[in-house]
Amino acid sequence: MTRKIPLIARDLKKLYTGFLILCVVLFAVCTVLTDFSPMTLFANSDAFWEFITEDFLPPALPKASRIPGVFESVLVTLALAMSATTVAAILAFVVSLFGSEKVSPFPRFAKIVRGFATFLRNIPALVWAFILFSSLGIGTGVGFVALCITSFAFMVRAFVETMEDVSQDCVESLQAVGASFPQRVAQAILPSCLSGFLSWFLYCVEVNIRASTIVGMVGGGGVGLTLFSYIKSFQYDIALSIILLIAVMVIAVDRVTSKLRKEILK
């Protein structure tokens, strides 16, 4: 009788089996707590597909007089994402210099800076948008601030991690010869970290293109607000056309920024 050779180790197999059982149990518990029933979802799938095929399909164009406004809202969304990311990147760079224990002239305060950035980052842009809209009203300016806050917090953490990975030999050498803090930043940090900073900046642009659409739907302006207006008026076929336009915009920006990041990181 030939002995079978196991494809994976017995201990590893037990680990995978236990993890699978844990996932199934967690799914069952979450289903009970949220009153979610997969069978109900499947039972109502006919209504869902009927809604998609009859109300959404085929896509339709808005009135000819409104088409320029739709493209203008796309440009507003792009401008909102780019401007918020650019301002946030400048502020994040300055703050991140004090968030890195290896670079900051006040190392004891570095953890406070990182903790503050972590706190801001853990609040989604949509929540910031609701907070700001409730207090300041709707508009692209408030949407800009909401995106700027989350982008600032994200890039502070990203820039700090980039600076932490840089060798300290150059920084320590400049410090030994009496170089000031701005001189150490200009001669050591920027040349070593600039490509990393730009890569994170481009990634944040990608994220903010999507986020600006969501923020726009709750009052931040741009193509998100245009989409939401058609959904509220039950013109789902026109809304589908705008959704496809948003998809094309996001894919185009992703392709451009991905290519730029590859060129930067070469």
Q: Which domains does the chain have, with CATH numbers?
A: 68-265 (1.10.3720.10)
Query: How far apart (Å, rounded) are the C-alpha atoms in residues 100 and 92?
Result: 12
Prediction pTM value: 0.76
Query: How far apart (Å, rounded) are the C-alpha atoms in residues 125 and 145?
Result: 10
Mean pLDDT of successive 10-residue stretches along the chain, which has 266 residues: 63 82 88 76 71 74 80 85 89 85 76 84 81 76 84 88 72 66 73 81 86 79 81 82 86 82 70
Nearest Cα neighbor of 80 from 14, 12, 144 is 144
pLDDT of residue 119: 85
Query: How far apart (Å, rounded) are the C-alpha atoms in residues 147 and 150?
Result: 5
pLDDT of residue 8: 67
DSSP class of 59: P
Query: How far apart (Å, rounded) are the C-alpha atoms in residues 134 and 116?
Result: 23
Q: Report the SS3 class of residue 124.
A: coil
- Contact at 8 Å (CB) between 253 and 234? no
Query: b vs e for 80-97, b when ≥16 Cβ sit within 10 Å of the residue's Cβ?
Result: bbebbbebbbeebbebbb
pLDDT of residue 4: 63
- Contact at 8 Å (CB) between 79 and 228? no
pLDDT of residue 122: 83
pLDDT of residue 206: 84
pLDDT digits (tens, 9 = 90+) for 107-148: 778 788 888 888 888 888 778 888 877 777 777 778 888 888
pLDDT of residue 168: 65
- Contact at 8 Å (CB) between 67 and 128? no
pLDDT of residue 175: 65
Phi and psi angles of residue 118, each rounded to the nearest 5 degrees, phi first: -65, -40
- Let me know the angle formed at the C-alpha of 193 by 187 and 198, rounded to the nearest 5 degrees: 125
DSSP class of 222: S
pLDDT of residue 179: 66
Alpha-carbon torsion (258, 260, 263, 264), positive or negative: negative
pLDDT of residue 5: 62
Tokens of 132: 């700001």
pLDDT of residue 265: 63
Query: How far apart (Å, rounded) are the C-alpha atoms in residues 117 and 237?
Result: 41
Nearest Cα neighbor of 157 from 111, 198, 202 is 111
